[in-house]
Chains A and B, each alone.
Chain A
């Protein structure tokens, strides 16, 4: 790769995605709209490869910072490219590409018209770009901007399906998310007031020097951040918008939101807590315990709510709540294994949940049945779809050889390292509950006689390819976690300020 590109690759990824996003509406008029879609997919794939390249760089040459426009911090905008951003770039690319590929098949039919489809693509790419930005950014200003872009974009793609429930859900989502971003903004303001900086590295220096002087203020701003990002990333008591939004959107949107959008805010939260404020301060404050407790609550409660659902997508949405609990639990543990588990789970849950949502969308589209109780015998008609759904379920339950197990394993180790046996019980019980709410679907689909056999066929090959790709990703991560695990551990190490273990 030529030097000019490789140096500026980080910012190039975001810029390229943004520009593609803005091109999209112009492509409405071309005869074959699929060209546009495949162009978008292609750009995503490029972003993915760029992310992989960056990750390799980071793994080998260590983290580095990039001053946008050559202006150094604190005046310029600084991108800090470390293992976190590498991992998250890979995650986004790896998951977003198949999702868009899947969406591209009958996007126009889903969202109504060509122009709407084009705008959908725009929003989608905007979302992806914002997430990448969240991954690589190094200062709070950027974080705020990217968070806002992501929020608006995700709201909009929920509303892409043009019906009452979707719009109502979107409005609620928008309202709550805006309140959340208001809190985030307040938090940023507090930090700024306290330290006079928006660059996280500088803030960290300032705080580590003088945080004992104003613990209360720091605490309040941390609570602002927690609540703000908690709302956006559906931490348990604040998840209330999620089920509606994620279950009423079209399949690709739900997949995108559930798997990636949420994770973006979590990454932001991680950066604020562990980079800006600093690991030693955070771990000394009770906020981590609160995160642990909330995480455990989320795991159990989310699973129980999921059990109660009969609508497949809604059940999956609640399962997202439960899985986010795992991630927050890892954050709360605040030790190397726990954070590694968090990162691994960000990746594996992204892949798994998007796969599940896509499969669910395929089932619903082909059979017209959205309730689990109606899905008897679907497995015989759509073996591939239900097969990948099975893969996703097993990974979600945390069976070895599937990606879910790797993260759960790390989380278990982390909670044991913390001596937190309750967390161990909750983690194990959570996976049992996951089995309880996912396996019945498979049982219905594969082992019960269909009530009336309507002639149902598999979805288009492209969609099958997309889903199979995700399934392969899951299994590969589960079988050979090596490199990814290394990256995750490095990311955790960066957060904790340990010297990178290679």
Chain B
């Protein structure tokens, strides 16, 4: 048991990241407001950044700039950081796209609440279903 605790304490960034991820998912699930869903998405992706950075980080490591002078320097793994930059870009674009869509939806349905939208749409579809 204690051994488990110690493991968790060693890898606390990962635990933290997973917790954040769960929170993000939870947000997406529980909130029917589209904006909140988008926020949830962002939280979720944020958690992954933490995960990567933590994985790439080394205690006392410096930025990976080649320096012939000092061979003992420890570099931080650059790859995850690069990846995360991309990830940030991606999440931004996703957010932008989803916000645009939400605007359109508001224009069409007059609401940003998923349940409302569902109700309206299902009525339309149900009528269609009845016709067939």
Contact = CB atoms under 8 A, between A and B. Distances in A.
Interface of A: 74, 141, 144-145, 148, 152, 155-156, 159, 162-165, 167-168, 170-171, 174-175, 178-179, 181-182, 185-186, 188-189, 192-193, 196, 198, 310, 371, 373
B97 A152 contact: yes
A189 B48 contact: yes
B48 A141 contact: no
Given A168-B117, A185-B48, A178 B41 contact: yes
Contacts of A186: 21, 48, 51
Nearest to A194: B55
B109 interface: yes
Count class of interface residues, chain B: 35 or more
B73 interface: no
Given A168-B117, A171-B101, A179 B25 contact: yes
A59 B121 CA distance: 51
Contacts, number: 92
Nearest to A371: B132
B94 A152 contact: yes
A76 B75 CA distance: 17
A175 B52 CA distance: 22
Contacts of B108: 163-164, 167-168
Contacts of B117: 168
B44 to A, nearest CB: 5
Contacts of A167: 101, 104-105, 108
Given A164-B108, A192-B55, A198-B79, A182 B21 contact: yes
Contacts of A310: 132
Contacts of A144: 83, 86-87
Q: Which among B14, B44, B102, B117 has the greatest number of chain A C-beta atoms within 10 A?
A: B44
B86 A174 contact: no
B87 A185 contact: yes
A182 B45 CA distance: 6
Interface in B50-85: 51-52, 55-56, 77, 79-80, 82-83
Nearest to B124: A165
Nearest to A155: B97
A145 B93 CA distance: 12
A152 B93 contact: yes
A145 B51 contact: no
A171 B102 contact: yes
Query: Which of A175, A179, A310 is packed against the most chain B CB atoms within 10 Å?
Result: A175
A14 B92 CA distance: 23
B33 interface: no
A88 to B, nearest CB: 22
A189 B52 contact: yes
Closest 5 CB pairs of A and B: A164-B108, A310-B132, A148-B90, A185-B48, A171-B101
Given A164-B109, A310-B132, A174 B98 contact: yes
A264 to B, nearest CB: 16
Contacts of A162: 104
Given A174-B97, A188-B83, A193-B14, 13 more contacts: A144-B87, A163-B108, A168-B109, A174-B94, A175-B41, A175-B98, A178-B98, A182-B21, A182-B24, A182-B44, A182-B48, A186-B21, A192-B79
A162 B52 CA distance: 38
Contacts of A145: 86, 90
12 contacts: A141-B79, A148-B86, A152-B97, A164-B109, A168-B105, A170-B101, A174-B101, A178-B45, A181-B90, A189-B52, A189-B55, A192-B52
A391 B104 CA distance: 39
Contact of A175 (B37, B45, B55): B37
A144 B82 CA distance: 12
Nearest to B56: A192
B34 A171 contact: yes
Contacts of B105: 164, 167-168, 171
Contacts of A196: 77
Contacts of B86: 141, 144-145, 148
Nearest to B117: A168
Nearest to B132: A310
Given A167-B104, A371-B132, A189 B51 contact: yes
A89 to B, nearest CB: 24
A167 B55 CA distance: 38
A179 B44 contact: yes
B48 to A, nearest CB: 5
A334 B121 CA distance: 42
A401 to B, nearest CB: 34
Nearest to B14: A193
